[in-house]
Structure 1
């Protein structure tokens, strides 16, 4: 695999990576929110607004803790592992040195993001006095990646990992961007998200380039086998089951009557985002698959036909 089609961002990292340019951000003790209302439908439900609005800040703070926990798992247990493996040339598919240097900058960035997230968690606990509940030990990607790998022979496990991480890095950029623009949220939190976004935009391009390099060199047989894993990956990755479970856990910690708790649980259980072509994250995912060249392969188009618009179901 040669690097003629690869553009390094090492110089951009030296000039603009947030770990090299940003002072520590401090959480403001003001009236703004620590977590956007629109990201936690529990506090917008009819039962919650009528019977227990006084628990809003508790729910939002716990939701912020979960968000931070998810970031730490994503950055340190998944992206860091993949990027470090590439940087140290331990990946089954060797990459040019320029790619490996860039991969190490991703490792540094992601560990720094996790550090900043943990710092904000600590600041929030100190300011609010609210201790985190038991937080999930896994995120959706923790289930989606092994489910996809299980469908392929061992020699393709690293390739499936690469594509899965690339999909996640391209979708988290969209997620962080929306968070950073919400004016109802404390400025330091929005600043944290904006800092994160600067790095993640660069990371998304990096992973897209690596997948393009891999896909160009992959055999038709390997491409077709990986194509079969993509619908399974998406079903696990785009589910909201973990978020539902967390919200149900939150409800159990509210000081409300059994009837109110039951009504809140019913409303949470009814919230669903069907994994169809209309899912809000699929546009970003299909954009990545297109830009990386993966979606130019007939077997991929066939495998993902249920998620593509009518105009995109042919190669």
Structure 2
């Protein structure tokens, strides 16, 4: 619109992956000596019980971690993000959003369906070429955790809960996606797909940040308080590890039940995990600060209870 600053999706027809991207094809013979996921992002690979396994078992663990990431993406994009984008796009969200924002929500909807498609496609390709099948695990644990947080904290406001879940996920995922393409030890097809995804998600991050601020102005004080108190639990739910598939993968690698549980406890129950969550959540917490959420009663305490602090307060206890 004339006189308005450009929006994050204004050039969607030219820039979106679904409009002009290429299908990423995995060729194992071109990827010899590379790994399937950055080892630093697979905490259990550093555990002595795992390092003592045969190299082929470790390779399978890394492959299954890639499968978990890709399949969890399909669930989150379609069930969380598109579940929130559709009511906004169709004018069913209960607010008078401008038509331009509704069309942007449809653009997000198209993008996310495509992201789910190519994530599932790559997992299927890698399984076929590598000979390591995708296990029949529940990869929707993140969605369940997010939805449980919404139902628990906003039981009478499911539409708002869904919108907040999408805002949280979409303002967190870009930093995660950006980690993988930077690692030259990872197979190129995985890096390229993550880079493709990150480009779209950078635009989505800006869209959902702007959307959140518009949504916030349309909430009355009581709903703002409820939303502000719910957000930290949603952030934790989106970033806490989904350990069901990890546990299953460790058992498939040959670890006994006791050893598998010990690996999970030692690799995923540490302060380092909390530090990772705080780092990834910074931009989301900053957005809450910008909206004024921390000025509302109980919000700062709710964030602190989940190990999260107001932006700018990382080293300030007052």
Could you state the TM-score of these two structures normalised by the residue count of structure 2? 0.86
CA distance in 1, matches of 2:57, 2:97: 51
What are the Cα deviations for residues 87-140 of structure 1, in whole angstroms up to 9, with x where unaligned?
A: 111112231100000000001100011111111112112211111111214232
Structure 1: runs of 5+ lacking an equivalent: none
Q: Following superposition, which runs of at least 4 residues in structure 1 exceed 4 angstroms of deviation?
A: 4-7, 273-278
The yes-or-no answer on 1:298 pairing with 2:296 is yes
Distance 1:278-1:67 versus aligned 2 partners, 3 A rule = closer
Q: Is the 8 A contact 1:215 1:294 kept in 2?
A: no
User: What is the match of residue 47 of structure 2?
Assistant: 45
Measure, in 2, the Cα distance between the counterparts of 1:33 and 1:276: 26
Matches within 5 A, 1:193-208: 193-208=194-209
Cα distance between partner residues in 1 of 2:63 and 2:302? 40
Which residue in the other structure is 2:240 paired with? 239
Which residue is equivalent to 1:23? 22
- Provide structure 2 residue ranges, at least 5 long, that are not aligned to the other structure: none
CA distance in 2, matches of 1:314, 1:92: 39
Any idea what SS the aligned residue of 1:130 has? coil
| C-alpha separation in 2, matches of 1:152 and 1:122 | 37
**TM-aligned CA deviation for residue 302 of structure 1:** 4.3
Tell whether the 8 Å contact from 2:91 to 2:97 is kept in structure 1 after alignment: yes
Residue 12 of structure 1 deviates from its aligned partner by 1.6
Structural mapping, 1:1-315, within 5 Å: 8-29=7-28, 30-31=31-32, 32-152=34-154, 154=156, 156-240=157-241, 242-243=242-243, 245-255=244-254, 258=256, 262-271=258-267, 272-274=269-271, 279=277, 280-291=279-290, 293-295=291-293, 297-299=295-297, 300-306=299-305, 307-308=308-309, 311-312=312-313
Q: How many residues align?
A: 305
Would the aligned equivalents of 1:86 and 1:94 in 2 still touch at CA under 8 Å?
A: no
State the alpha-carbon separation in 2 of the partners of residues 216 and 262 from structure 1: 51
Most deviating of 209-218 and 49-58: 49-58
| CA distances 1:175-197 after superposition (whole Å, capped 9, x unpaired) | 00011211111111111011101
Deviations 1:57-111 (A, max 9, x none): 1111111111111010011111112111211111122311000000000011000
The answer to whether the 8 Å contact 1:149/1:161 transfers is no
CA RMSD of aligned residues (A): 2.7
Cα 1:264–1:229 change in 2 (3 A) is closer
1:123 and 1:51 mapped to 2: Cα distance?
Answer: 26
Q: Which moved more, 1:270-279 or 1:25-34?
A: 270-279
Residues in 1 aligned to 2:312 and 2:250: alpha-carbon distance in whole angstroms? 43
* TM-score, with length taken from structure 1: 0.87
SS of 1:180 mapped into structure 2: coil
Work out the CA distance in 2 between the residues paired with 1:18 and 1:311.
Answer: 35
| Rounded Cα–Cα distance in structure 2 between residues aligned with 1:103 and 1:310 | 28
Moved more, 125-134 or 6-15: 6-15
* Separation of aligned partners in 1, 2:43 and 2:114: 30
Matched residue SS, 1:131: coil
> For the structure 1 residues 278 and 133, does the alpha-carbon distance in structure 2 shift closer, same or farther, using more than 3 Å as the test?
closer
